[in-house]
DNA sequence: CCATTAACTGAACATTGTTTAGTATTAGCA
DNA sequence: TGCTAATACTAAACAATGTTCAGTTAATGG
């Protein structure tokens, strides 16, 4: 049934997402527009709306892809055979590295505002939880905690690294370079972990 | 020389910023438009461009105001006569509380993207540094550190609280309510500080 | 009272997201 | 093979956006 290039529904969706991703990566979030996507894939702008409800939905799917790539980038670091603290630090570095390599896509994940009233779909939120879950195991190993305390520690560390990443990448802190950021994430992890374990043995 | 309502240049600028602030606070960042501002102050849209180069500049000034209000909201908590750790926790709570009370304005401060190439002006960045500087004193008291180490700790704690605030306020974490967020910030501060001090006495 | 200057407007332009009437192509069936 | 129904797709339209600017109005200064 397709006419232009024999693209199945699924292929066309992926073409749209590919184009959207490339546009954001190259020209920032502002470079994303229905017409720009259409031009890049050789379709008319209206075609996008046959596959997605609106541009917000396109962005949400782009974000899902980005989060999946983030997961893949962090997973090896978090689950190596090194000690738990080392794995946590490596995971944080992988996170920062990914954000530095994909600044626009990374920011789109966390800065995209959808219209008031509606909030992000479950399949997206679950991907962020998936990222947090990556560090639960090393945290458990090193803190010997379980249940709610374990989850709290993992969430706190993740948020902390995320905040450091956010503020340093957007130059809102007086910190420059990769090692500047890593100094902060390393400090966060070592001190927090030491704090937890020393409270334990007290 | 003014014609409409005898507004001096400075008054008119403030009128514009007042209107912009109100629009963002009520209808979110998407509610901000040149025509909406103009309508609210009884001027034509073009008048805004006689006072600001473009809407981005208006937003930057709104953010400056918001950051000033944040400073005023946090300062008392950070500089009371309580112990340093208590002051840090109170400062974090004040930060979270402000963000919860002004979600759209708070997000605008940290999520606004200006066109690629240009970065935010010094007078704005300095206001964020001002926020960080609020916790330097209590951090110094409790960690006995100075210089670069002191600054690193302050930046790390600030970023950490910021990250927690960001992810919990935007519902990207499986954490709900004010006490949920405060549990994370409290954990961050107590454990991090304990980590620093216990490393010291080791 | 007139001329100059500045404030201000209204309309215009390009670009955005989104909708829709209409066209073209294919699939299924006779 | 040829007819019909369904679907993929486009082009054009709409409203709203940021921004500019020629022209108008009002106040100032001489």
Per-residue DSSP letter, B30: G
* CB contact (8 A) between residue A184 and residue B159: yes
Nearest-Å Rg of the Cα atoms of chain B is 20
List of residues 6+ apart from B107 with CB closer than 8 A: A113, B29, B169, B170
Residue B9: what pLDDT? 86
More reliable by pLDDT, A177 or B166: B166
Whether the CB of B8 is less than 7 Å away from nucleic strand C comes out as: no
Q: Is the pLDDT of residue A193 over 70?
A: yes
d(CA B158, CA B185): 10
The two three-digit tokens of residue B24, written as one number: 């963002």
- Residue range A187-196: mean pLDDT, rounded: 98
Whether the CB of B1 is less than 7 Å away from nucleic strand D comes out as: yes
Of B111, B160, B196, which is closest to A159 when you measure between CB atoms? B160
Residue A1: what pLDDT? 41
Which parts of B28-169 fold into alpha helices (H)?
34-41, 45-51, 55-78, 84-101, 103-111, 122-134, 136-143, 147-169
Residues 33-52 of B with CB under 7 A from strand C: 38, 42-47, 50
Strand D bases contacted by the protein (CB, 7 Å): 7-13, 16-22, 25-28
Q: Which residue of A has its CA nearest to B149?
A: A187
Residue B14: what pLDDT? 97
- This prediction's pTM: 0.94
Residue A8: what pLDDT? 83
The two three-digit tokens of residue B94, written as one number: 């004040």
* CB contact (8 A) between residue B188 and residue A193: no
Q: Is the pLDDT of residue B1 over 60?
A: no
Q: Find out whether B95 and B72 touch, Cβ atoms under 8 Å.
A: no
List of residues 6+ apart from B201 with CB closer than 8 A: none
More reliable by pLDDT, B200 or B65: B65
Residue A116: what pLDDT? 86
Of A111, A155, A190, which is closest to B111 when you measure between CB atoms? A111
Residues of A in contact with B116 (CB under 8 A): 27-28, 30
CA angle A83, A86, A89 (to 5 degrees): 150
Buried b (16+ CB within 10 A) or exposed e, B165-184: bbbbbbebbebeeeeebbbb
Q: Is the pLDDT of residue A157 over 60?
A: yes
Residues of B in contact with A165 (CB under 8 A): 163
* CB contact (8 A) between residue A194 and residue B190: no
* Percent helix / strand / coil, chain A, rounded to 5: 75, 0, 25
Q: Which residue has the tokens 């890593």?
A: A182
Q: For A32-89, write each residue's pLDDT tens digit.
A: 999 999 999 999 999 999 999 999 999 999 999 999 999 999 999 999 999 999 999 9
Q: Which residue of A has its CA nearest to B163?
A: A163
């Amino acid at each position: 049934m397709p006419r232009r290039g024999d693209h199945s529904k699924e292929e066309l969706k992926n073409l749209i997402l590919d184009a959207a991703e490339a546009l954001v990566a190259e020209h920032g979030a502002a470079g994303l527009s229905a017409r720009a996507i259409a031009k890049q894939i050789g379709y008319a702008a209206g075609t996008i709306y046959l596959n997605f409800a609106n541009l917000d939905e396109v962005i949400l799917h782009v974000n899902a892809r980005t989060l999946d790539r983030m997961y893949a980038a962090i997973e090896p670091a978090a689950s190596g055979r090194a000690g738990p603290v080392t794995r946590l630090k490596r995971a944080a570095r992988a996170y920062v590295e990914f954000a530095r390599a994909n600044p626009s896509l990374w920011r789109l994940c966390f800065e995209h505002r959808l219209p008031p009233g509606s909030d992000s779909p479950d399949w997206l939120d679950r991907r962020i939880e998936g990222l947090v879950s990556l560090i639960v195991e090393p945290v458990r190993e090193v803190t010997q905690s379980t249940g709610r305390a374990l989850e709290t520690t993992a969430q706190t560390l993740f948020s902390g690294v995320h905040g450091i990443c956010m503020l340093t990448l957007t130059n809102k802190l007086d910190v420059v370079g990769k090692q500047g950021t890593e100094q902060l994430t390393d400090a966060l992890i070592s001190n927090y972990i030491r704090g937890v374990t020393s409270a334990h043995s007290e």
